[in-house]
Amino acid sequence: MKTLLIKVDPENPSAEALAPAAEILKRGGTVVFPTETVYGLGGDATHSESAEKIYAAKGRPSDNPLIIHISKPEEAEPYAETNKLWHRLARHFMPGPLTVILPKKDTIPLTVTGGLDSVAVRCPAHPVALKLIELTGLPVAAPSANISGKPSPTCAAHVIEDLDGRVDCIIDGGECTFGVESTIVKITGEDSLILLRPGAVTYDALCCVCSDVTVSDTVMNKLKENERPLCPGSKYRHYAPEKPLTLVGGSEEARISYFAERQKEGAVIICYDEQAEHLESHSVITVGKKDDLEAQGHRLFAALRECDSLEGRCVYANLPSTDGFGLALYNRLIRAAAHTVVYPDQL
Ligand code: TXA
Ligand code: MG
């Protein structure tokens, strides 16, 4: 199919520029749009056929449910059973990078939720996403706009690389702010939830609003054999570059000399700006200063894509700390590396 490309002002998109995209969604087509986390591949969430088109475009297994995007928290009511905790989360974090899983209502077809009786709801904080949803008057189902298994796209060039010719429209709204996908929580009671995927709304921030926050085992650890995860997406290979990736932990000194040795053997190194000063400049991809987690999040998926275009057999990157936003980076990288970690201090 021929994909329509629309470029808009990310801060102040005009209704006129977005109108063709809204029409496509209303007619059951697929539109890629920017959010503050990553780009999403949208379709009408009340329509089974739109969901099927999304799964087909991504090459995604249809048992992996989609998030529905709304422009105001109140719009969740026709589609999900909300409770007091939902309203508290909405007041504190919406619009923003938080997705909440609630029992679903019949208005959302089972094709959208991968057969589950729950639905994931998110109100994104991006002017383009919000205006587009408003113009359609629909909840918009959208997974990340990458081919299944690849890192999520954080700019239009990544989307075009993966989905040009596979979707009806791509809206170019520049680079995404956070660069990692939303935090996902599942509400389990009036004051309890489970953190299923960490993102920019951190564990500590959730604890300020809810007194019983459990972190799902799959956030940091490998799934056990035959285990069915609460978040179906966590059972699939994800985020991984084509080249094998190994994470490097331990002291700063040991990491730097380990990176230098591996680089001499022909590896690609993803590292902090400060570490790059101790390495040759070829085959190095920097993601920001060591303490600047926001910059690292913003650059992470672009770096994972970039390493495949550089020469080298394999890739090494820092094992992030699990504090604050670091947990989101840890969660993505540990899966991209299929849990392969080395500690050179201990070798
Ligand atoms: O930031 C984001 O959340 C982006 C932007 C586009 O909004 N979207 C995104 O969607 O990351 P996706 O489909 O790539 O990841 C959603 C994850 C999947 O792992 C899926 O299994 C899980 O959410 N999920 C969706 N609905 C669920 C449900 N009802 N129960 C459990 N997990 C669910
Ligand atoms: Mg995804």
146 CA distance to ligand 2 middle (Å):
7
For residue 199, the ligand 1 atom closest to its alpha carbon is 1
Looking at residue 235, its pLDDT comes to 66
Looking at residue 131, its pLDDT comes to 98
58 CA distance to ligand 1 middle (Å):
14
DSSP-assigned letter for residue 209: T
For residue 39, the ligand 1 atom closest to its alpha carbon is 6
Residues contacting 265, CB < 8 A, separation 6+: none
Using CA positions, which residue lies closest to atom 33 of ligand 1? 231
In this structure, what are the phi and psi dihedrals at residue 252, rounded to the nearest 5 degrees? Answer: -60, -45
- Is the distance from the beta carbon of residue 99 to the nearest atom of ligand 1 less than 6 Å? yes
With a threshold of 0.85, does the pTM exceed it?
yes
Contact between 192 and 57 (Cβ < 8 Å): no
Count of beta carbons in the 10 Å neighbourhood of residue 17: 15
Kindly identify the ligand whose nearest atom is closest to the C-alpha of 36: 1
For residue 41, what are the CA distances in angstroms to 29, 175, 179, 261? Answer: 10, 16, 16, 41
Looking at residue 61, its pLDDT comes to 86
pLDDT per residue rounded down to tens, the chain (347 residues) = 999 999 999 999 999 999 999 999 999 999 999 999 999 999 999 999 999 999 999 998 888 999 999 999 999 999 999 999 999 999 999 999 999 999 999 999 999 999 999 999 999 999 999 999 999 999 999 999 999 989 999 999 999 999 999 999 999 999 999 999 999 999 999 999 999 999 999 999 999 999 999 999 999 988 877 777 777 776 666 788 899 999 999 999 999 999 999 999 999 999 999 999 999 999 999 999 999 999 999 999 999 999 999 999 999 999 999 999 999 999 999 999 999 999 999 98
Looking at residue 227, its pLDDT comes to 78
The full set of domains in the chain, from first to last, is 4-219 (3.90.870.10), 245-346 (3.40.50.11030)
For residue 146, the ligand 1 atom closest to its alpha carbon is 14
246 is written with which tokens?
A: 């190994």
Looking at residue 175, its pLDDT comes to 98
Kindly identify the ligand whose nearest atom is closest to the C-alpha of 149: 2
Q: In what order do the strands lie in the sheet with 4-7?
A: 4-7, 169-172, 31-33, 40-44, 140-141, 67-69, 118-122, 98-103, 183-189, 192-197, 212-215
What DSSP assignment string belongs to 213-229?
A: EEE-GGGTSPPPTT---
Looking at residue 299, its pLDDT comes to 98
**Whole-number Å distance between alpha carbons of 154 and 144:** 9
- Is the distance from the beta carbon of residue 177 to the nearest atom of ligand 1 less than 6 Å? no
For residue 236, the ligand 1 atom closest to its alpha carbon is 19
Largest CA distance in the chain: 61
Residues contacting 188, CB < 8 A, separation 6+: 194
Looking at residue 296, its pLDDT comes to 98
